[in-house]
Structure 1
Amino acid sequence: MTQHFLLSAASRTLKLKDIYKAGEEAAYRKFCEIRWPETEGDAICPRCGCVETYDISTRRKFKCKACSHQFSVTSGTIFASRKMEFTDLLAAICIVANAAKGVSSVQLSRDLGVQYKTAFVLAHKIREALSDETENTKLTGTVEIDGCYVGGHIRPANQEINRVDRRLARYQTGKRRVVIALRQRSGRTLTFIRKSEAEGVEIARNRVANGAEIHADEASHWDTLNAFFPVNRINHSEAYSANGICTNQVESYFSRLRRMVGGQHHHVSPKYLHQYAAHAAWLEDHRRKPNGTLADRLAANAMAAPVSRNWKGYWQR
């Protein structure tokens, strides 16, 4: 029997102990090489683009010979103003890349030996960076679309006489959201957070290329898509797949998302649900790649991402 890729040695190209064994200097050089690959890790001034810089080794900073601007390897990136060591940053990236269903902030804080607040913000910065991969992506070919409702659970009262009909709007918490996912077969997954699945029609019009074929379930609001795309429908009360028509790929993504939310995080705020959804989509899209490749990709995304306006100084409001 053929061995599954995730069980093979080819999927394990990076070990957490190797990061700490290599030491802080190696981790620092790794970040330099990721930030400035065109010069093999030699600093380039982010202000004027000059390649001639002084190395201030005592503070791990650089000074531009042209404009005298001082900067570090993380200046202007999502890790700007970081206080953690570079080995810990690489370790955090490795842990996030290795976690097939995500990793909780409590577990990350214990693995790194940092406060929960530090781990919480660090994890969200990494999620924000990886979501930039699909910021302007348009899907082509065959695209599956569906929605998955998350959150808003209403705990029933202890005694039966005090229980209410939780389906009624007046008893809702207002925190229930739907994750609308568009997944291109053999391609990327785009996620959006809305209050109604019907809003996915307008999203599909904007993010699916002309000529693409859409597969959807029997929900009536998808009928509008017929005016813009070739649409194939599958009635789940009759079958989950028929003649190649299905939404199984997007349902596979929802399966990962549900297990991430329920098994790892237990509760996700509607305010930040979009980042967890994007994280699950990134893991699903790259599930057949070695963990070393995933870690390198995460690090490259983080070093290319600008300073986060949502997470820099988060706990200081």
Structure 2
Amino acid sequence: MAQHFLLSAAARTLSLKAIYKAGEDAAYQTFCQLRWPETNGEAVCPRCDCAATYPIATRRKFKCKACAYQFSVTSGTIFASRKMSFMDLLAAICITVNAAKGLSMVQLSRTLDCQYKTALVLAHKLREAMALEVQTGEVLTGHVEVDGAYFGGTIRPENRKEDRIDRRLARHQNGRRRVVVAFRERKGRTLPFVTMAEDEGVALAVENVCERAILSADEASHWDALELAWPVERINHSEAYSDHGKNTNQVESFFSRLRRMVEGQHHHVSPQYLHQYANQAAWLEDNRRRDNGTLAYRLAGDAMDSPVSRAWKGYWQRAA
């Protein structure tokens, strides 16, 4: 029996040991190469795009000869105003891609020896970078599976049976329940959205699925509307999860990863940020067959291409 790729040495091309053994200078050069690949790591001014720059010897900064702007390798990126060393940033990225079902922020803060809030903000910035590859705006083609899954909003039942309420009724909900509607190409991309109700997925399909695609869905009545625009294969999950090739197993695989991430690692996810966790799970699911070194440098490159985060820049300094 052939060995699974993820169990082989070929899947392990980067380790924390290698990052820290190489040192801070090597990590810094890695970020320079990822920021300016077209000039082989030579600095380019982010303000005027001038390649005539020179390093400032006393610190890791550059100055543009054209506009006199001083900048660093992380200026204007998602890591702008960073205080972490480049080794720790690269290590955090390596840890993130190694955690196939997510990682708790307490564990990340202990591994990096930083504050919990530092780990939290850093992880959310990396999720923003992952979203660049997930939410591309390109429509899905081929055979696309669609389904929805509910997250959050659980109401704890009373201890005494006579005090319990019907938690299924709308008047007893706490308003924090959300639905992740996901579209997944077979052997392709995963595209998740966070909505209030699963039937909102019909309108999302119109915007994000090619009109020549084939859809697969379960027997929920709101998916009937999809048959007006696409050929749709339906599967009754009360009878089987696969029937002569009709299934939604690929999108269910995504939900399995996301649910284990939310319930097994983070335990609680705010509805405000559920979309970031969904994008992270989609990125990990779509890239599950790649070695961890490729994933780490790919994520680092996405982070260097990401603009300054509006949601997380100075998050802990804002007013309550």
Same fold (TM over 0.5): yes
- Measure, in 2, the Cα distance between the counterparts of 1:81 and 1:75: 7
Instruction: Provide the alpha-carbon RMSD of the alignment.
Output: 0.8
SS in 2 for 1:148: strand
SS in 2 for 1:209: coil
The equivalent residue for 1:132 is: 132
Shift of 1:68: 0.8
The equivalent residue for 2:270 is: 269
AA paired with 1:139? L
- Measure, in 1, the Cα distance between the counterparts of 2:274 and 2:108: 19
- Measure, in 1, the Cα distance between the counterparts of 2:206 and 2:185: 14
2:150, 2:179 within 8 Å by CA — same for their partners in 1?
Answer: yes
Shift of 1:41: 0.3
Q: Do structure 1's residue 205 and structure 2's residue 206 form an aligned pair?
A: yes
The equivalent residue for 1:34 is: 34
The equivalent residue for 1:170 is: 171
- Measure, in 1, the Cα distance between the counterparts of 2:11 and 2:138: 27
AA paired with 2:37? P
- Measure, in 2, the Cα distance between the counterparts of 1:210 and 1:172: 37
SS in 1 for 2:91: helix
Shift of 1:35: 0.3
Shift of 1:174: 0.5
AA paired with 2:90? L
The equivalent residue for 1:62 is: 62
Counterpart mapping for 1:193-272 below 5 A: 193-272=194-273
AA paired with 1:228? A
Matched residues, number: 317
Deviations 1:26-83 (A, max 9, x none): 0000000000001110001111111110101322111111111111100110000101
Deviations 1:218-237 (A, max 9, x none): 01111111121121111112
Shift of 1:137: 2.4
SS in 2 for 1:58: coil
Q: Do structure 1's residue 314 and structure 2's residue 315 form an aligned pair?
A: yes
- Measure, in 1, the Cα distance between the counterparts of 2:60 and 2:133: 29
Shift of 1:243: 2.1
Deviations 1:232-284 (A, max 9, x none): 11111222112211100000010111111111000000000000011011111
Deviations 1:71-123 (A, max 9, x none): 11001100001011000000000000100101111111000000000000000
- Measure, in 1, the Cα distance between the counterparts of 2:33 and 2:105: 28
Shift of 1:162: 1.1
> Runs in 1 of length 4+ with deviation above 4 angstroms?
none
AA paired with 1:229? W
Q: Do structure 1's residue 91 and structure 2's residue 91 form an aligned pair?
A: yes
- Measure, in 1, the Cα distance between the counterparts of 2:50 and 2:211: 42
Structure 1 gap ranges (5+) = none
AA paired with 2:22? A
Deviations 1:163-182 (A, max 9, x none): 11111111111000000000
Shift of 1:160: 1.2
Deviations 1:175-226 (A, max 9, x none): 0000000000111100100010000001011011120111000011111111
Deviations 1:120-149 (A, max 9, x none): 000000001111113212110000000000
AA paired with 1:20? Y
SS in 2 for 1:263: helix
- Measure, in 2, the Cα distance between the counterparts of 1:260 and 1:224: 31
Deviations 1:266-313 (A, max 9, x none): 000000000001101111111111000110111011000000000001
- Measure, in 1, the Cα distance between the counterparts of 2:236 and 2:5: 33
2:134, 2:282 within 8 Å by CA — same for their partners in 1?
Answer: no
- Measure, in 1, the Cα distance between the counterparts of 2:138 and 2:313: 26
SS in 2 for 1:173: coil
- Measure, in 1, the Cα distance between the counterparts of 2:239 and 2:261: 29
2:134, 2:279 within 8 Å by CA — same for their partners in 1?
Answer: no
SS in 2 for 1:215: strand
AA paired with 2:279? A
TM-score of the superposed pair, with normalisation by structure 2: 0.98
The equivalent residue for 2:188 is: 187
